[in-house]
Chains A and B, each alone.
Chain A
């Protein structure tokens, strides 16, 4: 344990406020992800059929359980804004950190765009049901993104308290629909005959292909650690909030698949924009329709809200470390939020929300997430090798290492193949983007980075260096 490091640089600067507890972490994680139950997951049914959709739901659940286990250990030890970005900086190196920062920003900004598209689509659907067809969705898309960016600009506590309330309502709406259908409220009975008449319309390859959108059920749960610098007790709150979040989502995902697959023909479900709301429409019950309309609106707003929070923290962290122009590393003097990063990411979200189809935007978000999960596998191995368990204090130690790493890497490989089946062009475009961005960082941007400042944890020197 030689060479225990010194304290962080003594420069006085504005810090983010430590005001969040475990419930806020749960709300941040589930709030971002719960929208995956309200839209997007159902494209997995379109890619493989009903059984493939359920298999994807559970296999993706296993993948995210590994993600939550691994992430909880590293995050509870490296509690800094930026989450996985800060982990990469301390464990792998600056270029990896830059890439992880971009994964986070792209995944969350695309998810934010997908949420805004869904808000517009839902309002258009409801307007059509009320006899006002052809609603212009764009003003609602713009308004959603601008309003939530303003809320984030004003302060993190109000933002995540708002998320806590609307996430809880959206979660209860799914349970209410599930229970109501079980009690026979639906005018049209549930029908699972497609499981026997058309069990695997694409054969076994459909199950692998469905994994692509199966990730959407849980994508973003790792975002809990983005708020690490704003949590009162990171070592306790982050693992607790994250694991409670993944359990919540596993339950919600299974209920969602059951209700939607029973109430909607799989061919429709596989391309629906708002499947849970559509399932409520099939029941013919006005109360359920209103509840699921509210649930869909709340889940999309909560998700977009959390996405703005997380993407701006990652962008802010990169600016603070000079991986990006340092202008982005500013904290608002009154609201103590990364306000420049929040404002800067608004037009990027708008470009994709206003000009790209939902499934494409979802795919870009999933791909960035998938690259991040791949990073977590070797990051965990390097973390344990560079700092074995007895060298530094961890807030949480995940069991069965390296089994979760092996399972996660295997499932990531399967997910890349799943994306390749049908969306190979997007995968190639995204890889080209990250390769060019990496070369740009290493050969141009890195000259502006202070080397020693990249390592701020009070740890001993890593083994092997």
Chain B
């Protein structure tokens, strides 16, 4: 006998949609909104900046002027900002475990569900 899913009422459907919305906004948007996530790029401005001191040649200075930044002081933060790529192994290992663990979890649980699908689809007694 094929599996007969329960009929889901309107309230249940709305509840499921709200759950997914809360998950999406909560997990992805809230960390951004609260400032917990962000690129680790910080400016290191120099004192009394000139194009030469900022490592820009004459052509590059013209290019800056052409995009509306004629004053080296205005470009100081942009030119001196750098990412910090120093990292410790622990967070990297945690990330690797999260990614690999996630795929292992999904594939294993999927396989359990897939066997039910195949059994019902190909077994004449179950249809």
Contact = CB atoms under 8 A, between A and B. Distances in A.
Given A420-B87, A422-B83, A422-B85, A440 B63 contact: no
A191 B63 contact: yes
Interface string B19-33: 111011101110111
Contacts of B116: 451
Contacts of A462: 118
Contacts, number: 229
Say which size band chain A's interface belongs to: 35 or more
B53 to A, nearest CB: 14
Q: Which residue, of B41, B84, B107, B113, has the highest number of chain A Cβ atoms within 10 A?
A: B113
Interface in A124-161: 128-129
A92 B121 CA distance: 15
* Chain A binding surface, main DSSP class: helix
B39 interface: yes
A393 interface: no
* Chain B binding surface, main DSSP class: helix
Interface residues of B, number: 78
A356 to B, nearest CB: 5
B109 A438 contact: yes
Given A187-B66, A191-B63, A268-B78, A93 B114 contact: yes
Given A427-B95, A442-B109, A448-B5, A209 B83 contact: yes
B29 A355 contact: yes
Interface in A259-289: 263-265, 267-268, 271, 278, 281-282, 284
Interface string A400-442: 0000000000000000110011111111111111111110101
Interface stretch (A232-240, A296-304, A319-327): A319-327
B97 to A, nearest CB: 10
Contacts of B94: 428
A445 B105 CA distance: 17
A325 B17 contact: yes
A7 interface: no
Interface string B42-82: 00000000000001110110111011110000010011011
Contacts of B121: 5, 451-452, 454-455
28 contacts: A93-B113, A95-B113, A106-B28, A191-B57, A191-B60, A194-B60, A209-B85, A263-B63, A264-B67, A265-B79, A267-B78, A267-B79, A271-B78, A271-B81, A325-B13, A344-B17, A359-B39, A416-B95, A416-B96, A421-B85, A422-B39, A422-B85, A429-B31, A430-B28, A435-B105, A436-B27, A448-B6, A462-B118
